[in-house]
Amino acid sequence: MSLTEFNPEATSSAGFITSSTPVSTGYDPAAGGVQYGSRQTGATRADLIKQYGLMKPSFRKALAQKLKDAGYKVPVTGKYNTLVRDTFLAATEGLSQEIQNIQQNDPDRLLRVGYDLETYLKDLSATGGAEGSKRMEYPSVLSKGDVAELLNAVKQDLTGYGATDDEVNFYYEKLRSKALKQPTVVTPSEGRQVTESGFNPRQFLIEKISSTDAAKERKVLDAYDAFAEVFGINL
């Protein structure tokens, strides 16, 4: 029996990613043939609690056994157990973080390999379990294209115009250096994984660009436009 049987179909930005599945997105001869993507499902904390409550005793017991095999300290029981339930939530959070880490640092892997709670728990079992997991660091890998897209979006929003090639080159080196020095850190703690967010390139660019003369001028013009609209002034 697969643990994915109880994953909900609807995704939620306020919850956890519960699975990632490689899927074919069609055939494109110009791109080299069959193209692939990944489809993800998700659930909120409330969704997962409800799912645990609706599980049959045999499945609930199988889940507890898989959690125990993965290194979590839980009783193997088919009865409703709050420790097993909360550990189920913690393990799903760990799965969600792992999928996000792979999406950020090795997205091509999600086009080849499926991830769900069952595969995640098997990985933990094979590497010594959740309690034996080590502190892991995941630096952001930023390409020049990533930086150009992000910089143009932030500059367009704050100043009204895009970035020059020189600005892209300048910020590419700066963002890449900072991302490598400030990785996302995942640390095991009391049966769950605690994530410390690393460098945020978008926030960094917002702070830098919002302090430039061009951004300040745009802010003043926006305020004047709003004033003119209220009082019916033709610009």
pLDDT at 224: 38
**pLDDT greater at residue 151 or residue 79:** 79
Q: How far is CA 39 from CA 51, 166, 190, 220, in A?
A: 21, 37, 31, 44
Q: How far is CA 36 from CA 23, 24, 108, 195, in A?
A: 6, 4, 9, 29
What average pLDDT does the segment 58-63 reach? 95
Helix (H) or strand (E) holding 176: helix 165-181
Give pTM, 2 decimals: 0.52
Give the domain ranges of the chain.
1-26+34-131, 134-235
What is the phi/psi pair of residue 187, to 5°?
A: -125, 130
| DSSP label at residue 196 | E
Tokens at 214, concatenated: 């061009």
Instruction: Determine the average pLDDT of the residues in 206-214.
Output: 74
What confidence tens digit (pLDDT) does each residue in 124-182 have? 876 655 554 556 666 666 778 888 888 888 888 877 778 889 988 898 888 888 877 78
